[in-house]
Structure 1
Amino acid sequence: MEVKVAVVQDSPAIFDLENTLEKVEKLTKEAASEGAKLILFPEAFVSSYPKSLKFGTVVGNRTEEGREVWLKYVKSSVQVPGPATDRLASIAAGNSIYLVIGVIERDTISNGTLYCTILYFSPAGKLLGKHRKLKPTAGERMVWGEGSGDTLSTFDTSIGKIGGLICWENYMPLARMAMYNKGVEIYLAPTADHRDTWVASMQHIAREGRCFVLSCNQFVKATDYPEDILHLEGIKELPDIVTTGGSVIVSPLGKIIAGPLFNEAGILYATLDLEDIIRSKLEFDVIGHYSRDDVFNFDVPSQPDTVKE
């Protein structure tokens, strides 16, 4: 089976939930018009990856101005389920596509803890499930809570088994193995890492997992930040281009088939032949003839079963 996919590299309307959702709708419509059946958006696209923001926080001290910036960030986050997820589901259904998108999720009970999350929507407009980032990296720990194993989700869909990890979770060997063990065929890796080394990591994962890998990042300029935070320490020192992108699509043998795209907004497309996954396993199958289950024991007690669409 062949399926056309798309990865979106662009900037959200930072701290602006409604305008970000408008942009998601516009970009989804554009990619769907080109025949894409699966569309991936970057990490934290709704409604921003808070690069260089300090939220007035250092070890042992916070500021009132920082709390106000935090409030803006929380207000631009989404509850799952909620009005924003209903809107995203409608966008998926309206374009008859699988939509996978990075959001900042707000806890529905406390209303004050945020998670870096991927949401999965079907062409029928159903929220299939989510994955919360297991371990925020470095300064991310200041603003995001930790996810748990019960959102290491995979989905058996009409276009293949899909699932993935967020940004530097992809450097966690056991997290990757949790995806491989579910037979993931289209591995999704939304990120905020725009270094050249990231592309090499995506090629490694494709070869290791014998799966297609789709990775996408934001393309953000300093002028994309709201004017009322441009004076903040960390923001006023930003270069003209804050995040250069680096979105890429890789085959199961580690060959780059689209991208990497740097220094501009855009959408990458590729048509995936899922039989290439079988072809690639001639000499290596990480959960088959190369697994050595007689030597190694691997278990994720809280990982959910693969969801059948």
Structure 2
Amino acid sequence: MSQKTINVGVVQATPALFDLEKTVDLTISWIERGADAHCQLLLFPESFIPCYPRGLRFDAIVGRRTDKGSDMWLDYWSNSVETDSEPIRRIQAAVKKAGLFVGLGVTEKEPIGGTLHCSLLYFGPDGTLLGKHRKLKPTGLERYIWGESDGSTLATFATDLGRIGGLICWENYMPLARMAMYQKGVEIYLAPTADARPSWQSTMQHIALEGRCFVLASNQFVRKADYPERYQADLIDEPEIMSAGGSVIVSPLGEVLAGPLWNEEGLLTARLDFSVLAKSKLDFDCVGHYARPDVFNLGVANQPETVRVVSSNG
């Protein structure tokens, strides 16, 4: 395994905000672009479908809801996706044609009830929806629009590319959530986000060094003008560039392999050398020789076993 190398890609793009069908079209076009770049694994940003609704308040007031906020919520809900739906089947067909693994950030509808979740969907190169991770703890006003998840979606996948898993945005600031991933032996750590602060780069490098894993971080590039006209008045105090991006790929030794990319759309690519991953554990392995199981023990409620994925496309 230490001699293995693979090609990966990170998408930094602008969705068609609040437009499910057009954003699915964009997703498919980026999958095709990833295949043209010979990527074996491609990561999209947090809630790429239908968008991360940065800057919108949904007219939320403590103790009171409004019709305006409910209408905004309905718009967002109507353009979100169920995992068993025609939009997802279109994406699955594109993934199968491209023949690569895909991590896709979506706002996911519950099939029963009205709750939305911020989810990371994992697709195999044959188009199969391998599984998903739902954000454990939405941040700030995100809690008004997204529900919480539990340990049952702390998923990892043993593939011929390596062990793949990850967390969404500020979940990556939860030390125990990270450790839950490390304990599963994650080698390719996916971190879709909406955080475009320069400090996020330090977080990604820290995780790479701490977990001794490759880290792929993907964010959207969004301008105020990209929002539908109906929401422009709600964004009057927002900057022209709402999300500058900052997508990046980092090695297990903290070396930046691609990016960060700022203020534009683009596809970052890198070749991951697994000999670097193996050598990185000589002097530090947080779940191996540097662990102290006689002192520390982490139990994770309901975390599933690692899914083993057999593929001929690795």
Q: Which amino acid aligns with 1:120?
A: Y
Question: Which residue number in structure 2 is paired with residue 150 of structure 1?
Answer: 152
Question: Which residue number in structure 1 is paired with residue 79 of structure 2?
Answer: 76
Question: 2-side partners of 1:84 and 1:271: how far apart?
Answer: 31
How far does residue 301 in structure 1 lie from its aligned partner after superposition?
Answer: 2.8
**SS at 2:233's partner residue?**
coil
Question: 1-side partners of 2:92 and 2:180: how far apart?
Answer: 27
* 1:17 is the counterpart of 2:23: no
Question: 1-side partners of 2:15 and 2:301: how far apart?
Answer: 36
Q: Deviations along 1:210-251, whole A, 9 cap, x unmatched? A: 00000010000111101112122xx12221110000000000
Question: 1-side partners of 2:224 and 2:277: how far apart?
Answer: 40
How far does residue 65 in structure 1 lie from its aligned partner after superposition?
Answer: 1.5
Identity between Structure 1 and Structure 2 (%): 53
Q: Which amino acid aligns with 1:244?
A: A
Q: Which residue of the other structure, out of 30, 36, 61, is the alignment partner of 2:39?
A: 36
Question: Which residue number in structure 2 is paired with residue 299 of structure 1?
Answer: 299
**SS at 1:285's partner residue?**
coil
Q: Give the stretch that moved more between structures: 53-62 or 78-87.
A: 78-87
Q: Which residue of the other structure, out of 87, 99, 103, is the alignment partner of 1:100?
A: 103
Question: Which residue number in structure 2 is paired with residue 286 of structure 1?
Answer: 286
Question: Which residue number in structure 2 is paired with residue 47 of structure 1?
Answer: 50
Question: 1-side partners of 2:16 and 2:78: how far apart?
Answer: 13
Question: 2-side partners of 1:296 and 1:55: how far apart?
Answer: 43
Question: 2-side partners of 1:266 and 1:240: how far apart?
Answer: 19
Give the TM-score of the pair, scaled to structure 2: 0.96
Question: 2-side partners of 1:300 and 1:82: how far apart?
Answer: 31
Q: Which amino acid aligns with 2:89?
A: D
Gaps of 5+ in 2: 310-314
Q: Which residue of the other structure, out of 111, 129, 132, is the alignment partner of 1:130?
A: 132
Question: 2-side partners of 1:126 and 1:265: how far apart?
Answer: 27
Alignment of 1:247-266 (within 5 A): 247-266=247-266
CA RMSD, 1 decimal: 0.8
Question: 1-side partners of 2:69 and 2:204: how far apart?
Answer: 35
Alignment of 1:236-255 (within 5 A): 236-255=236-255
Alignment of 1:158-197 (within 5 A): 158-197=160-199
Question: 2-side partners of 1:214 and 1:94: how far apart?
Answer: 23
How far does residue 28 in structure 1 lie from its aligned partner after superposition?
Answer: 1.2
Q: Give the stretch that moved more between structures: 84-93 or 199-208.
A: 84-93
Question: Which residue number in structure 2 is paired with residue 118 of structure 1?
Answer: 120
**SS at 2:141's partner residue?**
helix
Question: Which residue number in structure 2 is paired with residue 27 of structure 1?
Answer: 30
Q: Deviations along 1:251-281, whole A, 9 cap, x unmatched? A: 0001111111111111100000122111100
Question: 2-side partners of 1:215 and 1:42: how far apart?
Answer: 8
Number of residue pairs aligned between Structure 1 and Structure 2: 306
Question: 2-side partners of 1:205 and 1:88: how far apart?
Answer: 30
Give structure 1 regions of 4+ aligned residues with deviation exceeding 3 angstroms.
none
Question: Which residue number in structure 1 is paired with residue 312 of structure 2?
Answer: none
How far does residue 82 in structure 1 lie from its aligned partner after superposition?
Answer: 2.0
**SS at 1:138's partner residue?**
coil
Q: Deviations along 1:22-53, whole A, 9 cap, x unmatched? A: 00111111121011110000000001101111
Q: Deviations along 1:79-137, whole A, 9 cap, x unmatched? A: 12222221221121010010101000011110x11100000000111000000000000
Give the TM-score of the pair, scaled to structure 1: 0.98
**SS at 2:138's partner residue?**
coil
Q: Deviations along 1:123-178, whole A, 9 cap, x unmatched? A: 11100000000000011111100011000000011111000000000000000000
* 1:213 is the counterpart of 2:239: no
